[in-house]
Amino acid sequence: MKQVIPKSHPRAQSLYIRERLVHAFDGGLVAKEGLMAHGRGEAFDYLIGERTSKTAKNAIRAAAFMLQQAQNPVISVNGNIAGLCPKEIVELARASGAKIEVNLFYSTEQRKQNIYKTLRRHGASEILGLDKKNSRRISGLDSARRVVDKDGIYSADVVVVPLEDGDRTMALKKSGKKVITFDLNPLSRTAQTADITIVDNVVRGIRELVTQCGRKQVKPKFDNKKNLAYSIIQIRDNLTRRAQVA
């Protein structure tokens, strides 16, 4: 008899997320390299237990506070994020007062337009990163991600960079910006460089971030390095438990 996995089960959710990403690839939002990056993320999601941990919730509350205090917050959107949670991106922008900017590593005009249309369908009113007349460059980068909007990432004080590459996180930090990221690998350069790293699947964590941005936050006692260390301990403990069960 074929085993039926309940929809609420983490494995079913993982398969659903994978299917959404494949659909986004077929729709021209996601680059093939983005599929490989998602595969790495799935592995780390399994290691953290496929749930939003206490350490992730601590980081989310700290991120909400930082966004509430920001003067010009911006959410950087790539193909994977646009494919996985476009509705939540728009909701986060509204809840935090942040702008939305399309920024791609494997950049083509067609992919930018596909992402733009997807975000518009989900209610985004203003989307930066498509007007070449407004483009500026972040120093210290060779990839297409160095090209940003002067009214968006270029002048932002806080940038949310879900599923980010390490080089740009470092470049954004060197340019004086605060960086909030979602990264399932607590040892990655992005995770270690960002001001606030949410070690969680972005599809789960971004919903909680939207909720927290809608609540009044008090200044948290948050240390990103310590929070990442707790995430690593969590992975170790999960591996130990699973080895004992096996």
Domain assignment present for residue 1? The answer is no
Q: By C-alpha distance, which of 138, 126, 38, 133 is closest to 78?
A: 38
Supply the pLDDT for residue 246: 61
Domain assignment present for residue 185? The answer is yes
Domain assignment present for residue 18? The answer is no
Domain assignment present for residue 245? The answer is no
Are residues 76 and 159 in contact, defined by beta-carbon separation less than 8 angstroms? Answer: yes
CATH of the domain at 121: 3.40.50.12640
Token pair for residue 216? 């009044």
Domain assignment present for residue 28? The answer is no
Supply the pLDDT for residue 96: 96
Q: Whole-angstrom Cα distance, residue 43 to residue 39?
A: 7
Are residues 89 and 116 in contact, defined by beta-carbon separation less than 8 angstroms? Answer: no
Domain assignment present for residue 167? The answer is yes
Q: Whole-angstrom Cα distance, residue 176 to residue 121?
A: 33
* Chain centroid to CA 68: 18
Are residues 225 and 219 in contact, defined by beta-carbon separation less than 8 angstroms? Answer: no
Domain assignment present for residue 91? The answer is yes
Q: Whole-angstrom Cα distance, residue 132 to residue 151?
A: 12
Domain assignment present for residue 30? The answer is no
Q: By C-alpha distance, which of 111, 92, 53 is closest to 212?
A: 92
Helix (H) or strand (E) holding 5: none
Supply the pLDDT for residue 49: 87
Q: What is the dihedral of CA 207, 80, 53, 236, to 10 degrees?
A: 180
What total number of domains does the chain contain? 1
Q: Whole-angstrom Cα distance, residue 130 to residue 9?
A: 39
Domain housing 205: 54-236
What is the chain's pLDDT, residue by residue, as a tens digit (246 residues)? 444 445 455 556 777 788 888 888 888 888 777 776 766 778 788 888 888 999 999 999 999 999 999 999 999 999 889 999 999 999 999 999 999 999 988 888 999 999 999 999 999 999 999 998 999 998 887 777 789 999 999 999 999 998 777 888 999 999 999 999 999 999 999 999 999 999 999 999 999 999 999 999 999 999 999 999 999 999 998 888 877 776
Are residues 194 and 81 in contact, defined by beta-carbon separation less than 8 angstroms? Answer: no
Which residue is listed with tokens 């997807």? 118
Token pair for residue 228? 């990442």
Which residue is listed with tokens 């990839």? 143
